Amino acid sequence: MDSITPVDACDFTVFGGTGDLALRKLLPALYLRDRDGQLPDGFRVIGVSRAEVDDDGYRALVAGALREHVVAEDLDAAVVERLLGRLHHVRLDVADVAAWHQLHDRLKDGAASDDVIRVFYLAVAPGLFGTICEHLDEAGLVTERSRVVLEKPMGTDLATAQQVNAAVGRVFEESSIFRIDHYLGKESVQNLLVTRFANTFLEPLWNSRWVDHVQITVSESIGVGDRGSYYDRSGALRDMVQNHLLQLLCLVAMEPPTYVDRETVRDEKLKVLQALRPMTPELVDRDTVAGQYAAGLCEGRPAASYADEVGHASSTETFVAMRTEVQNWRWAGVPFYLRTGKRMPERVSEIVVVFKEPPHAMFPHSEGPTEPNRLHIRVQPDEGMRLHMTAKEPGPGGIRLRPVSLDLSYAAAFGGRSPDAYERLLMDVVRGNTTLFMRRDEVEAAWTWVAPILERWSQPSHRPRKYPAGTHGPVAAVTLLERDGRSWQETE
Ligand code: NAD
């Protein structure tokens, strides 16, 4: 749980303040931080959008969103009122230079102090990032204590990511730029760092000598829904692999940083991205699988095909499976298998580290299987860890082997509510702690690595393979591992 030491007073400006992200994630996260006493007097939230609402209209909109997106037992009427009292709305089309004085006036008027922290959260289309930063600068709103938060997608390829980074970088120092990957704010993901680096037992085993391979799966049961027009231009590789899955891979594979609260974490993650085996056209054909869901049965209900959902035939992938390697001393030769998709059997994000078989079979006359040890790190839902091992079944007579597991369930061990990733990340922004955010060179290294895959998949001859909704993806994803004598670890 995040420390509940109050942050400093802040003017937290959300561009796109009436949008889905703001109302569903950001405002509920701020409410919960307020409830736990983390927002001091003088902390204001200024929603900026094109919506025709005044302050009261905005407060009513946010009150409705809190009722919808915060569980009833966490809603406290007095805190809701307190948060609503912090809210303001500025109606502004960010492209309209003449209108910017309204935001300027609002920020100057009633601020807690002259050097109050300013957060500019850009919950709008990335095409507006450059314009907003330019106008913030021209309007004289960027102070030494200002920070900007960028939401995904961070470009659609290396060139567009560089453009966005350059436009934002003209106005903000890198240390004031917070590129959000909300996976990094998840409790279980942070716990992965703690498990690796605040304990000693794993570190000697965490390498190619003892690890057979690593699997990272991020599956969703939902289809593309009403995000079709965005998604059809993006696809699973850009939407999930380039950011979330590669970030998870970095945290599994990185070397111990000197400290976990300094720039060194990002340095170590960058080294992993730079050590990923470069994809050649031959490797793309051999080691990657793109899929697209056809009609099927998902969670017991009929589900339409992707093409039907977006309303036309499409070559956008809704599923990716791939094999890669981290080419360094620690990981040489260890496959990392990544998999993500929509309309899979369930929503689950999990990292599985599969260890090697014992070097010598010591129980030749035993009954029962010996399975390799596996560490399952469950990112969502039911955050926790499970170590699968082999034990002796109790009883007289011969030795019978049985797989058993050591479980760490977050809910059981710590009780209480697991905070949403945004709660942690928004407070880190105010505190100016960039550890859990992506640095410019990381984002660009990730795009550099996926570029040959994007290129190969853009060929007209390339078509994603169909898989029925509600299944684990195309058969080729299974053969990708079977070829290596391995199989995907499905949820138990
Ligand atoms: P949305 O369409 O629901 O809301 C867009 C918001 O931006 C509205 O408040 C709108 O008034 C405002 N806006 C648009 N153009 C503007 C302009 N010219 N001037 C001022 N305000 C303007 O979008 P959303 O779902 O909230 O997503 C916003 C951004 O965040 C998108 O780039 C999206 O890809 C990204 N994102 C969204 C989510 C999510 O869960 N919704 C998750 C991750 C990233």
Per-residue pLDDT reduced to its tens digit, 9-27: 999 999 999 999 999 999 9
Instruction: Say how many Å lie between the CA of residue 153 and the centre of ligand 1.
Output: 11
- pLDDT of 3 > 70? The answer is no
- How confident is the model at residue 402, as a pLDDT? 87
Count the Cβ atoms, other than its own, within 10 Å of residue 187: 20
- How confident is the model at residue 4, as a pLDDT? 84
Instruction: Report, as an integer, the average pLDDT of 84-100.
Output: 95
Residue of minimum CA distance from atom 19 in ligand 1: 93
* 53 C-beta closer than 6 A to ligand 1: no
Instruction: Report, as an integer, the average pLDDT of 461-473.
Output: 95
Backbone angles phi, psi at 137, to 5 degrees: -65, -50
* 51 C-beta closer than 6 A to ligand 1: yes
Read off the tokens for 53: 């609402």
pLDDT band with cut points at 50, 70 and 90 for residue 364: confident
* 92 C-beta closer than 6 A to ligand 1: yes
Which position has the higher pLDDT, 492 or 21?
Answer: 21
Instruction: Report, as an integer, the average pLDDT of 306-331.
Output: 97
Residue 152 alpha carbon, nearest atom of ligand 1: 44
pLDDT band with cut points at 50, 70 and 90 for residue 492: low
* 16 C-beta closer than 6 A to ligand 1: yes
Instruction: Report, as an integer, the average pLDDT of 463-469.
Output: 96
Which is catalytic among the residues 135, 213, 244, 472? 244
* 238 C-beta closer than 6 A to ligand 1: no
In sequence order, the 6+-apart residues with CB closer than 8 A to the CB of 22 are 14, 16, 47, 123
Residue 25 alpha carbon, nearest atom of ligand 1: 40
Count the Cβ atoms, other than its own, within 10 Å of residue 38: 20
Q: Residue 247 in contact with residue 152, Cβ under 8 Å?
A: no
Candidate from 13, 15, 20 with most ligand 1 atoms within 8 A of CB, to mutate: 20
* 18 C-beta closer than 6 A to ligand 1: yes
Instruction: Say how many Å lie between the CA of residue 221 and the centre of ligand 1.
Output: 24
pTM as predicted: 0.95
- How confident is the model at residue 276, as a pLDDT? 98
| Per-residue model confidence as pLDDT tens digits over 435-447 | 999 999 999 999 9
- pLDDT of 2 > 50? The answer is no
- How confident is the model at residue 52, as a pLDDT? 95
Instruction: Say how many Å lie between the CA of residue 50 and the centre of ligand 1.
Output: 11
In 3D space, the residue among 213, 283, 231 whose CA is nearest the CA of residue 449 turns out to be: 283
- How confident is the model at residue 1, as a pLDDT? 45
- What residues are paired with 296 via a beta bridge? 303
pLDDT band with cut points at 50, 70 and 90 for residue 235: very high
Q: What is the SS3 string spanning the chain? A: CCCCCCCCCEEEEEECCCCHHHHHHHHHHHHHHHHCCCCCCCCEEEEEECCCCCHHHHHHHHHHHHHHHCCHHHCCHHHHHHHHHHEEEEECCCCCHHHHHHHHHHHHCCCCCCCCEEEEEECCCHHHHHHHHHHHHHCCCCCCCEEEEECCCCCCCHHHHHHHHHHHHCCCCHHHEEECCHHHHCHHHHHHHHHHHCCCCCHHHCCCCCEEEEEEEEECCCCCHHHHHHHHHHCHHHHHHHHHHHHHHHHHHCCCCCCCCCCHHHHHHHHHHHHECCCCHHHHHHHEEEEEEECEEECCEEECCHHHHHCCCCCCCCEEEEEEEECCCCCCCCEEEEEEECCCCCCEEEEEEEECCCCCCCCCCCECCCCCCEEEEEEECCCEEEEEEEEECCCCCCCEEEEEEEEEEHHHHHCCCCCCHHHHHHHHHHHCCCCCCECHHHHHHHHHHHHHHHHHHCCCCCCCEEEECCCCCCHHHHHHHHCCCCCCCCCC
Residue of minimum CA distance from atom 29 in ligand 1: 124
| 244 assigned to active site | yes
Report CA torsion sign: 260, 264, 266, 272. Answer: negative
* 93 C-beta closer than 6 A to ligand 1: yes
pLDDT band with cut points at 50, 70 and 90 for residue 65: very high
Q: How far is CA 468 from CA 192, 295, 311, 312, 377, in A?
A: 33, 6, 18, 17, 27
* 141 C-beta closer than 6 A to ligand 1: no
Read off the tokens for 47: 């929603």
Candidate from 21, 136, 426 with most ligand 1 atoms within 8 A of CB, to mutate: 21
Instruction: Report, as an integer, the average pLDDT of 328-344.
Output: 98
- pLDDT of 406 > 70? The answer is yes
Q: Residue 74 in contact with residue 417, Cβ under 8 Å?
A: yes
pLDDT band with cut points at 50, 70 and 90 for residue 49: very high
When mean pLDDT is compared across 16-20, 130-134, 188-192, 360-364, the lowest value belongs to 360-364
Q: What is the mean pLDDT of the chain?
A: 94
* 233 C-beta closer than 6 A to ligand 1: no
Instruction: Say how many Å lie between the CA of residue 357 and the centre of ligand 1.
Output: 49
pLDDT band with cut points at 50, 70 and 90 for residue 415: confident
* 124 C-beta closer than 6 A to ligand 1: yes
Candidate from 124, 220, 232, 420 with most ligand 1 atoms within 8 A of CB, to mutate: 124
Residue 50 alpha carbon, nearest atom of ligand 1: 11
Residue 17 alpha carbon, nearest atom of ligand 1: 9
Instruction: Report, as an integer, the average pLDDT of 379-406.
Output: 89
- How confident is the model at residue 118, as a pLDDT? 98
* 420 C-beta closer than 6 A to ligand 1: no
When mean pLDDT is compared across 61-75, 158-172, 329-343, 393-407, the lowest value belongs to 393-407
Residue 95 alpha carbon, nearest atom of ligand 1: 18
Residue of minimum CA distance from atom 32 in ligand 1: 125
Residue 128 alpha carbon, nearest atom of ligand 1: 18
Residue 92 alpha carbon, nearest atom of ligand 1: 20
Give the residue carrying structure tokens 């600068």: 137
| Per-residue model confidence as pLDDT tens digits over 161-186 | 999 999 999 999 999 999 999 999 99
* 50 C-beta closer than 6 A to ligand 1: yes
- What residues are paired with 392 via a beta bridge? 401
Which position has the higher pLDDT, 64 or 490?
Answer: 64
